[in-house]
Amino acid sequence: MKRSIQVVICRICSGAANVLDTDKLLRVASEAPYVGSAIAVDYACNTKTIAQIVEEAKDKEIDRLLVVPCSKNEVSPALFQSYKRKAKINEFLMEAVDLVSEVVLPHRDEPSKAQAKAEAKLLAAIARMAMLEPLQKGSEEMRTKNVVIIGAGVAGVEAAKRAAEAGLHTILIEKSDKEVKAPGVVMPRSRLISAKGHAGNYELTIEAGEKMEALECGAVIVASGGDWSEAKGPLVRACPEAKPLYKLAQELSSGNIPKGGVVIVDTPDPKADTTPAQDFAWEEALQCAIEIKKRESGTDVCLMFQEMRALGLAELSYKEAAELGVRFVRYDKKRPPKIDSKDKNRIVVIDSAQEQAIAIAFECLYYASIAPNPDNMAIAEALRIPMNDSGGVRRGSMQKGPIATPRPGIFVCGSAQFPRSEEMSRLEGRAAGALAAQFVSTGTVEFGGSVAEVTPEKCSACLTCVRTCPYEAPFIGVAGKAEIRLQLCQGCGMCVGICPSKAIELHNYTDDQLSAEVASYIGGDF
Amino acid sequence: MAERNPKVVGFCCEEHGIECANLAVRSGKQYDVSVRLVRVPCTGRVDGIHILKALEDGADAVFVLGCLEKNCYYDTGSIEGRKRVDYVKSMLSQVGIEPERVEMFNASSSMAWKFSEIVSKMTDVAKRLGPIEPRGDGQ
């Protein structure tokens, strides 16, 4: 294979000139094997400079590019694009070496050592670049541009509205037959049974009434929500008249105001043995307290909490409630509030702000309690996405966004990611709608590139890769050997690292390439 | 004889590990020049052979820096990476090489302070233990 590398060092942006000797770097680079051309430019993002670099690449029949830019994430896309189009270089044969973050910034005080390190780093990158192989990406048309939303609660309806604003067809799946005001199609009394396919082309099986229906869609939003629950805890058992918070909200909306003092506790189980403290319910609790105080200012209202998390604008409700005279008592879960054994209408608690026990008389006791949707398990199982400890659907890494699941094309919003407050659900619903719309409206899904590939001769079909992959990309094919579904592979290389027969390789991160880079990097003495 | 420069190799995952290092240096942290960072797509990609080859090629200490286990970009990658590192450590102790030369760390891309701790810990190990001595008994 003919290999000719062009090394481009950006003098100004890389800041290298301050610490490093770029001429020496260029000399070292040009003497390295397979380097066809090495140039230093002043601004590698300048259009004229790019044209000049590309001209040189064409003249010298360059087939791969190594650029030393200001930072790995800030390489001018124009540089790579013009290389791809004009010099016809494969996009996987272009890489950036981040000398700034790895050498210039951390070793400013030791210029001579930094120079040696920069040279070693550059040579290691050249050694790696010489071994890279050109790769192709595949793409697939989306068959439909539907977005399926599971659950027509606060989050689901909001997601449907946002996706519809972006011009997409939305299908809402709702298990009850409640009236739903949302754009697109609403399927009442239906639930998700199973799902096949991959991002962009999911095939869902829906049970609608008595019939089974097949549904194709580009993206799925899980908005299964939570349920108000009447979960009981020690506090509630001691005071049988205690009611869940949603009953208070219902009473208030129908115009009844509780008589006498009101105490709202953040959980039915203050010791948190069974139910964790329901921090997210504070918005509703604050709203109820304000409502009572506004209508009947003489009523004593006391909120008892472990930690107040009034998010965003709810902070204003917190302030308003405090101004109206609502009493806030903070307790520690090691010293939980207890009902007075002599008087059923008195609650005794150690206020952690004042470090002293106080007794509060009440007529009505309410507790915040929301349970995760019991259907979450079935939904997660059908869509093959993980669940979190509290019974909700778990989101993926925060870098993929707060509402993305590990599987591309599946989003989760609202109380499905148990627990969430109503305002938060609404916001997350909008975000999920927007992201699903962004994902689907491209109309094509790209896959392939730097992904894993199995060498069938080496495979012993031990199923290790099948078990390890979080995306379920490997499977045992008809030949009895492992195969990788390109559309599902994300290119993490977990199967490659774990394969006991070394039958899988991750393109452009093969064992040889990594070892060559490491060996060359260690070789430098500094 | 001039003092030998220690050599530390760090396999960093592209999503969190290397970003953690970048944030650290961009917020003004300086670290030892002997540290060589190598990008891998995910710490699950790191195989025992890479760590052992690095030690064979002359590294005094090797660390693997991946995402936080509950916030891994590839969901379970850093858990797999830790298993691999633990396996290498057990192998090293069997052949009589100090297992603390190899270590796995987790950090998110915003935990810049953690990167300095990791690097100073590993360079200390490299300086304290020095180059790997071949065993004299011919085993």
Span A78-106, pLDDT tens digits: 888 888 888 888 889 988 888 888 888 88
Span B22-76, pLDDT tens digits: 999 989 889 999 999 999 999 999 999 999 999 999 899 999 999 998 888 888 8
Write down the pLDDT at residue B139: 47
Interface A-B, measured as beta-carbon pairs within 8 A, has a size of 130
Q: Find the CB nearest A493 among B16, B33, B42.
A: B42
B28–chain A nearest CA distance, Å: 7
Q: Quick check: A526 and B36 CB within 8 A?
A: no
For residue B136, being part of any structural domain is answered with no
Pick the range with the lowest mean pLDDT from A87-96, A302-311, A343-352, A473-482.
A302-311
Span A196-234, pLDDT tens digits: 988 889 999 999 888 999 999 999 999 988 776 666 777
From residue A485, give the alpha-carbon distance in Å to each of A22, A34, A453.
45, 34, 9
Q: Which residues make beta-bridge pairs with A35?
A: A5
Alpha helix stretches (DSSP H) within A196-304: 234-238, 245-253, 282-295
Q: A511 to chain B: which residues are within 8 Å by CB?
A: 47, 49-50
Q: First-to-last CA distance in chain A? A: 33
User: Does B77 have pLDDT greater than 80?
Assistant: yes
How large is the average pLDDT for residues A450-466? Answer: 93
Span A252-269, pLDDT tens digits: 888 888 888 899 888 887
Write down the pLDDT at residue B1: 42
The answer to whether A405 and A396 are in contact (CB under 8 A) is yes
Structural domain that includes position B14:
8-129
Question: What distance in Å separates the CA atoms of residue B112 and residue A106, rounded to the nearest whole number?
Answer: 13
Q: Quick check: A397 and B5 CB within 8 A?
A: no
SS3 A313: coil
For residue B3, being part of any structural domain is answered with no
Write down the pLDDT at residue A461: 92
For residue B135, being part of any structural domain is answered with no
ipTM of the complex: 0.92
Q: Is the pTM of this model over 0.95?
A: no
Nearest Cα neighbor of B37 from A101, A25, A264 is A101
Domain CATH code at residue B120: 3.40.50
User: Does A160 have pLDDT greater than 60?
Assistant: yes
Name the packing angle between helices A245-253 and A282-295 (round to 10°): 40
How large is the average pLDDT for residues A376-393? Answer: 87
Question: What distance in Å separates the CA atoms of residue A171 and residue A369, rounded to the nearest whole number?
Answer: 30
Q: Quick check: A492 and B7 CB within 8 A?
A: no
More confident call, A107 vs A269: A107
Nearest Cα neighbor of B41 from B71, B78, B9 is B78
For residue B137, being part of any structural domain is answered with no
Nearest Cα neighbor of A149 from A199, A179, A183, A177 is A183
Question: What distance in Å separates the CA atoms of residue A129 and residue A123, rounded to the nearest whole number?
Answer: 10
Write down the pLDDT at residue A72: 66
Write down the pLDDT at residue A14: 57
Q: Which amino acid is at A111?
A: P
- Angle of CA points A284, A290, A293, to nearest 5°: 140
Question: Quick one: A256 exposed, middle or buried, by C-beta within 10 A (0-12, 13-18, 19+)?
Answer: exposed
Write down the pLDDT at residue B121: 93
For residue B23, being part of any structural domain is answered with yes
Q: Find the CB nearest A109 among B26, B30, B58.
A: B30
Residue A400 exposure: Cα atoms within 13 Å on the Cβ side: 22
For residue B53, being part of any structural domain is answered with yes
Write down the pLDDT at residue A230: 67
For residue B73, being part of any structural domain is answered with yes
Q: Quick check: A525 and B5 CB within 8 A?
A: yes
How large is the average pLDDT for residues B114-133? Answer: 91
Q: Which residues contact A469 (CB under 8 A, 6 or more apart)?
A: A494, A495
For residue B38, being part of any structural domain is answered with yes
**Token pair listed for A140:** 């697939």
Count of domains observed in chain B: 1
- Among chain B residues, the shortest Cα distance to A512 is held by B50
Question: What distance in Å separates the CA atoms of residue A368 and residue A6, rounded to the nearest whole number?
Answer: 64
Write down the pLDDT at residue A15: 62
Q: Are strands A146-150 and A169-173 parallel, antiparallel or unpaired?
A: parallel
